[in-house]
Amino acid sequence: MVLVRILCVFAMAWVTLLAPGPSFAQSEVKVGLIAPMSGPWARQGDLMVKGANLAIDDINKAGGIKALGGAKLKLIVFDAGDTVEKAKNAAQRMVAQEPDLIGATGAWLSSFTLGVTEVTERAELPVLTLSYSDQITARGFKYVFQTSPTGGAQSISTLPALMKMAEAATGKKPATVAIISDNTAAPMSFAKPMREGGIEKLGMKLVVNEIFTPPLSDATPLIQKVRSSRPDLFLLLPTAISDDKLCLEKLHEFGLGRGRVPVISNGAHIGAPDLLKNLGKDLLEGVMTVVANWGAKGQEDIIKEFVAKTGEPWITQDSISTYGDMMIFKEALEKAGAADRRKVAEAIRTMDTTTGPAHYFPGNRIKFDENGRRVGADVVIVQWQNGVPLTVYPPTSAVAQPIWPKR
Amino acid sequence: MTDWQWFFIDILQAFAAGVLVGGTYGLMCVGLGIIFGVMRVVNFAHGDFMMLGMYAAYYLVTGFGVLAFLGPYAAPIAGALLAGPIVFAIGWLMHRFLIANVTGARVISAEAEGHYAQIILTLGIALVLANGGLILFGSLPVSVQTPLSRESWEIGEVLLNKARTVGFVLAVALALLLYMFLTRTSLGKALRAAADNPIAAAYVGVDVDRAHRLAFGLGVGITAVAGGLIASSQSFQPYIGFDFVIVMYAGVVLGGMGSILGAFWGGLTIGLVQQMSTLVLPYQLQNTAIFVVFLLIIFFRPQGMFGRVWERT
């Protein structure tokens, strides 16, 4: 009997020790990252993870979340795979398996983000995204925050900027434009205002207008249309590196590469180090891409740290934006004072800062409008120059002068 | 040049692209066709064996640079051809230790002649190869670097991509060699005997299991060569097999299941339809056009273009 009592006392003591109590400070706060880790977009997911890990290292080394007693941030990664269905399933797993997540970033491809945020919205989980599609923040959702300018906004501000660059270099305005895009959400969103009269409004003529389903098996008939129309501007808008390679090599083969037809793309994949490995610097020289974020003037320290720690040759939109997203979550947690997803969402909604996380986004301001779109988000134009994609626009962020291809 | 002249060039250029792309598709379909024709196995992992061929060519030429001494023009061709024996060996071993357990004489009395087990096994192999590839090769898209993929031969205004043209010539040559092997050699005749009537073949001394192993190795090896040829034109990652496996099945069924020659024509037809449909249809419907033509052919000729009447799809 005595033995039983002793065992009972030990058992009660053990249970008491294990039970969480108010005396235990929160030791870690979980943040999700949902992006393609497999399939054709896995590389972009990898770059996002690298940016997030670097930010979390920096935050934790600097003492973690001070408002939560120095709690450390912990990244939980979910594979969005290669289809919208897989991305949605991953989002369902994320909200079910990790109920204490305070927020997430993702899901790179706009089509995936549209699917993922349907799940996270119901779970009231704040999601920061670098995806471009206008639809992401046009559905009245309260827990989605778009740090990039939307595709439509990019389209509207890109053409005038490109026309100015062309006019400055050649002395005349471009008269004809060709658009070739894949049918994923981001390029469709980017090209929509141009296709629906934007080109004509600027006094230009749309001479080629093609949409394809990725991945391409061969780009010959597509680029043949560019060859036969010889546009002054060629907006080439795929999303997969395999399609970039097919199109750019075909341009070169048809004698239209290396500046004979100025090529402007959209998205960070055109500036990815992998494209250089697949194509070589000669074929990329002069190619421009419109992105939402890129390594810019004033970010030299973080770029240097990123290159040293990851072995990547430069920082792309995927890494710098995800780095910035982690900084936004840190700022929101400090402001909310609690590891509660709803309070974190409210802190992001009411955030208006030009310091801290604002340093990592063009426009240097973090404030979201009622739709969740970042106020003052502007496009960045990056151009391949001698094997490196450099920011050439806007002038405040530019690290090099743009070179307009001569025909 | 006038608009009409450009339109005429557009047609010729799309036709050329269709033939050149279709030739490589044809070779892939021949690989799948042998396996189906001889073993009656639907190999869902076929696209992933093609992926292995692409990586074999990549590592031989660009990754490890074993063939770099041949120069940027010859090395990719040699790499593609060498990918064949490498994947043949993998296929041979895979048949010996896995596929033989659910095919051939062992499963004649099993339910549906072992087809259920074959489907599950080949799907499992496909998943293991794709995900194993992701672990082993990584997710970075890679390609075999060669000037062939960005240069062309000119015939008037029509440009023939060098990598695609070389791929087409090799594909036709390999398909012809295989046809001759099957029709002129005793080993080839043994394969055909094992395909037509495995029990009778066994009675006359043909080792049916060995014939199946050879067919499987040859099938995946030939498709690996096609993969190696595509690796110069296209960047790829371990999941690329899925993009091609549907094309391969459509080609084999279109040509006539069991017909090697038919499989080649099936692949060629798919390439032509895929590229030429863009002249009249939106580019987005490129692959839809393939299946419309596929359904039409199957409607009017259920046995496929070259299939035997009793082997309906």
- Write out the DSSP string of chain B: --HHHHHHHHHHHHHHHHHHHHHHHHHHHHHHHHHHHHH----TTHHHHHHHHHHHHHIIIIIS-TTGGGHHHHHHHHHHHHHHHHHHHHHHHHHHHTGGGGSGGGGTTSGGGGHHHHHHHHHHHHHHHHHHHHHHH-S--B----GGGG-EEEETTEEEEHHHHHHHHHHHHHHHHHHHHHHHSHHHHHHHHHHH-HHHHHHTT--HHHHHHHHHHHHHHHHHHHHHHHTTTS-B-TTTHHHHHHHHHHHHHHH-TT-HHHHHHHHHHHHHHHHHGGGTS-GGGHHHHHHHHHHHHHHH-TT-SS--TTS--
CB contact under 8 A, B21 and A217: yes
Interface of A with B in 168-187 (CB under 8 A): 183
Predicted TM-score of the model (pTM): 0.81
Give the C-alpha separation, A105 to A127, whole Å: 5
pLDDT recorded at residue A407:
57
- The answer to whether A211 contacts chain B (CB < 8 Å) is yes
C-beta of residue A145 within 8 angstroms of C-beta of residue A375: no
Q: Residue A47: pLDDT above 80?
A: yes
Q: Of how many residues is chain B composed? A: 313
For residue B96, count CB atoms less than 10 angstroms from its CB and return exposed for 0-12, middle for 13-18, buried for 19 or more.
middle
CB contact under 8 A, A38 and B286: no
- Segment A259-269, tens digit of pLDDT: 788 999 988 88
The Cβ of residue B8 has, within 10 Å, a number of other Cβ atoms equal to 13
Chain Cα centroid distance, residue B166:
16
Q: How far is B234 from chain A (nearest CA, A)?
A: 6
Give the C-alpha separation, B264 to B152, whole Å: 25
Nearest CA in chain A to B6: A228
Nearest CA in chain B to A214: B284
pLDDT recorded at residue A377:
87
Give the C-alpha separation, A50 to A319, whole Å: 6
- The answer to whether A28 contacts chain B (CB < 8 Å) is no
Residue A71 DSSP code: B
3-state secondary structure of A173: coil
Chain Cα centroid distance, residue A362:
13
Chain Cα centroid distance, residue A389:
16
B21: chain A residues, CB-CB within 8 Å: 217-218
Q: Residue A149: pLDDT above 70?
A: yes
- Segment A243-302, tens digit of pLDDT: 999 999 999 999 887 778 899 998 888 888 888 888 888 889 889 999 889 988 888 889
Amino acid identity for residue A14 in this structure: W
How many CB contacts within 8 angstroms connect chain A with chain B? Answer: 103
pLDDT recorded at residue A206:
95
For residue A406, count CB atoms less than 10 angstroms from its CB and return exposed for 0-12, middle for 13-18, buried for 19 or more.
exposed
Taking CA atoms, A20 is separated from A24, A27, A30, B277, in Å, by 7, 12, 18, 66
A222: chain B residues, CB-CB within 8 Å: 278, 283
The Cβ of residue B184 has, within 10 Å, a number of other Cβ atoms equal to 9
C-beta of residue B218 within 8 angstroms of C-beta of residue B175: no
Give the C-alpha separation, A16 to B242, whole Å: 54
C-beta of residue A130 within 8 angstroms of C-beta of residue A171: no
Nearest CA in chain A to B11: A221
pLDDT recorded at residue A25:
56
Q: How far is A109 from chain B (nearest CA, A)?
A: 16
- The answer to whether B284 contacts chain A (CB < 8 Å) is yes
For residues A353 and A406, which has the higher predicted lDDT (pLDDT)? A353
Q: Residue A20: pLDDT above 50?
A: no
What does residue A125 show for φ and ψ, rounded to 5 degrees?
-100, 120
Structure tokens, B135:
């672990």
For residues A359 and A4, which has the higher predicted lDDT (pLDDT)? A359
Question: ipTM score here?
Answer: 0.89
Mean pLDDT for A83-103 is 95
Structure tokens, B160:
């023939």
What stretches of A28-175 adopt beta strand conformation (E)?
Answer: 28-35, 72-79, 101-106, 127-129, 144-146
Q: Which residues pair with B154 in a beta bridge?
A: B159
Interface of A with B in 216-245 (CB under 8 A): 217-218, 220-222, 224-225, 228, 240-242, 245
Q: Residue A406: pLDDT above 70?
A: no
For residue A311, count CB atoms less than 10 angstroms from its CB and return exposed for 0-12, middle for 13-18, buried for 19 or more.
exposed
- The answer to whether B237 contacts chain A (CB < 8 Å) is yes
Q: Residue A19: pLDDT above 70?
A: no
**Averaged pLDDT in 10-residue chunks for chain B of 313 residues:** 86 95 96 89 92 96 88 95 97 93 72 78 94 87 91 93 96 94 91 85 88 94 97 91 89 85 93 94 89 88 72 45
In a mutational test of the A interface, the residue from B157, B159, B235, B240 whose CB has the highest number of chain A CBs within 10 Å is B235
Comparing CB atoms, the residue among B141, B145, B243 nearest residue A43 is B141
CB contact under 8 A, A224 and B10: yes
Map tokens 């010996």 to a residue.
B96
pLDDT recorded at residue B163:
96
Nearest CA in chain B to A221: B14
pLDDT recorded at residue A1:
47
B286: chain A residues, CB-CB within 8 Å: 212-213
Give the C-alpha separation, B115 to A148, whole Å: 51
Nearest CA in chain A to B152: A253
Q: Among A62-66, A96-100, A101-105, B61-65, where is mean pLDDT lowest?
A: B61-65
Nearest CA in chain A to B15: A221
For residue B12, count CB atoms less than 10 angstroms from its CB and return exposed for 0-12, middle for 13-18, buried for 19 or more.
middle
- The answer to whether B165 contacts chain A (CB < 8 Å) is no
pLDDT recorded at residue B313:
41
The Cβ of residue A321 has, within 10 Å, a number of other Cβ atoms equal to 28
C-beta of residue A150 within 8 angstroms of C-beta of residue A132: yes
Residue A72 DSSP code: E
pLDDT recorded at residue A26:
66
Given the DSSP bridges, would you call strands A288-291 and A263-266 parallel, antiparallel or unpaired? parallel
Mean pLDDT for A124-134 is 94
Cis preceding-peptide flag for A36 (omega within 30 of 0): no
- Segment A377-397, tens digit of pLDDT: 888 999 999 999 999 988 888
Q: Cβ contacts of residue A129 below 8 Å, gap of 6+?
A: A105, A106, A107, A113, A117, A136, A144, A145, A146, A147, A148
Q: Residue A9: pLDDT above 80?
A: no
Mean pLDDT for A55-68 is 94
Residue A197 DSSP code: I
CB contact under 8 A, B152 and A217: no
C-beta of residue A105 within 8 angstroms of C-beta of residue A332: no
Structure confidence at residue A11 as a pLDDT band (50, 70, 90)? low
